[in-house]
Amino acid sequence: MADIIEGRNPVLEALKSGRPINRVVLARNIQRHGTIAEILHLSSARGIPVDYVERQAIDSASFGRDNQGVIAYAAVKEYVDLDELLAVSKERNEPALYVILDGIEDPQNLGAILRTAEATGVHGVILRERRAVGLTSAVSRASAGAVEYVPVARVVNISQAIETLKKNNVWVIGVEQHGKVEYTRVDFKVPTAIVIGSEGKGLSPLVGKHCDSLAFIPMKGKISSLNASVAAALVMYEAFRQRSKKS
């Protein structure tokens, strides 16, 4: 609940102040003029998604009933853009290493991925804007503070983000159980982005098509797939191992 800002004016002022916001939620039948028009304009200008739901859903999410049909979910940290992630790699004077998350919805998974990303020297994490968890306080807690050290970008379209990285000479590897190459045989010493799919569904077909290559994690048991954060950790640590190895 600590992530929620309630009411028209509090949400408007949060947007005006530049406070990081994951998304704005409006009652479906709300009149879109006055303060609401300003909220919509600022949300659009800052690339913040706006969702319309039934009023009961907003009331259920709120502390009280003074929300006026408007709430916003605050982020615990500012997002960056792709250019800033690319700049991080240049500043470190290392081959780029990013993790792209194609629709992770569980805050525990995202927090665990950020924690491993920080431990393995990943330069940044890229999230999908919609139908995915953002930088909430639950994610921050699950990351054990790593959210403060790992730059996170949020994009409207994962496939377009992949193409932008490829234009900057980043090799994009999707992790998929039907991949063609075992993940330990991938060369992670070159500029690389690791793409992890959502819980349950894995990589979306379109995102998979945009990857340069698909890698699999071999498994011996009867379970057909790993938890998303576990799969991400295995691949990130393989990249770390390769990059730490003395040539």
For the chain, how many structural domains are there in total? 2
Domain shared by 127 and 216, yes or no: yes
79's CB contacts (< 8 A; 6+ apart) are: 20, 135, 152, 153, 154
Provide DSSP, 107-146.
Answer: HHHHHHHHHHHHHTT--EEEEESSSS--S-HHHHHHTTTG
Rounded CA-CA distance 235/216 in Å is 10
111 with 187, same domain? yes
pTM score of the predicted model: 0.84
Taking alpha carbons only, the member of 239, 201, 229, 204 closest to residue 98 is 239
Mark whether 221 and 129 lie in a shared domain.
yes
Residue 129: how many other CB atoms lie within 10 Å: 17
pLDDT in tens, 41-81: 999 999 899 999 999 999 888 876 789 999 999 888 889 99
How far is Cα 86 from Cα 97, in angstroms, rounded to an integer? 9
What DSSP line would sit under 179-193, residue for residue? -SEEGGGS-TTSSEE
> What percent of the chain clears pLDDT 70, i.e. is strictly above it?
97
101 and 68, same domain (yes or no)? no
The domain that holds 108 is classified in CATH as 3.40.1280.10
234 shares its domain with 125: yes
pLDDT for res 201: 83
On the question of pLDDT at 1 being above 70, the answer is no
What are the tens digits of pLDDT across the range 18-48?
888 999 999 999 999 999 999 999 999 998 9
Contacts of 193 (CB under 8 A, 6+ apart): 96, 97, 98, 99, 100, 126, 162, 165, 170, 171, 172, 173
Q: Report pLDDT digits (tens) over 88-137.
A: 999 999 999 999 999 999 999 999 999 999 999 999 999 998 888 989 88
Any residues with CB less than 8 A from the CB of 18 and at least 6 apart, and which?
none
Question: Environment class of residue 223 by beta-carbon count within 10 Å: exposed (0-12), middle (13-18) or buried (19+)?
Answer: exposed
Examine the fold and report which residue of 55, 74, 93 is the final residue of a domain before the chain moves on: 74
* Rounded Cα–Cα distance for residues 110 and 123 (Å): 16
Q: Does residue 221 sit in the same domain as residue 151? A: yes
The pLDDT score that the predictor gives to residue 224 is 63
Tell me which residue range forms the domain holding 32. 4-74
